[in-house]
Amino acid sequence: MKDMLDLKRSFHALRGMRGMSLVELMVAMTIGLLITAAIGYIYLGSRQTFRTVDDFSRIQENYRYALDQIGVDVRNAGFSGCVNVAINPSPGVPAGVLAPAAHVLRQSIQGYAGAAAWPGPAPAPANYVSNTEVLRIVASSGQGINVTAPMAGAAAAIAIADNPAGFAAGDALVISDCTHADVFNAGAVGGTTSVTPAATLQKPYSTGAEVYPLVDTVYFIGSNAAGNPSLYRRQNNNPVEELVENVENMVLRYGVDTTIPNDFAADNYQAVAGVADWLRVISTRVNLVFVSNNAVATGVQPCVVEGADCSQADGLLRQVATATYGLRNRLP
Find which of 55-64, 127-136, 316-325 is predicted with most confidence, using mean pLDDT. 127-136
CA distances from 261 to 42, 55, 113, 239, 280 (A): 66, 48, 28, 41, 11
In terms of DSSP bridges, do strands 134-140 and 109-112 run parallel, antiparallel, or are they unpaired? antiparallel
Higher pLDDT: 332 or 260? It is 260
pLDDT for residue 88: 43
What pLDDT digit, counting tens, does each position of 212-260 carry? Answer: 999 999 999 999 999 999 999 999 889 999 999 889 999 999 999 988 8
pLDDT for residue 49: 60
pLDDT for residue 45: 57
* Cα gap 45→116, rounded to integer Å: 41
Burial class (CB in 10 A: 0-12, 13-18, 19+), 254: buried
Q: Is a pLDDT exceeding 90 seen at residue 97?
A: no
Residue 319's pLDDT band, with cuts at 50, 70 and 90, is confident
- Per-residue pLDDT, averaged over 159-174, amounts to 92
CA distances from 41 to 36, 45, 46 (A): 9, 6, 8
Residue 9's pLDDT band, with cuts at 50, 70 and 90, is low
* Cα gap 215→236, rounded to integer Å: 6
* Cα gap 208→159, rounded to integer Å: 12
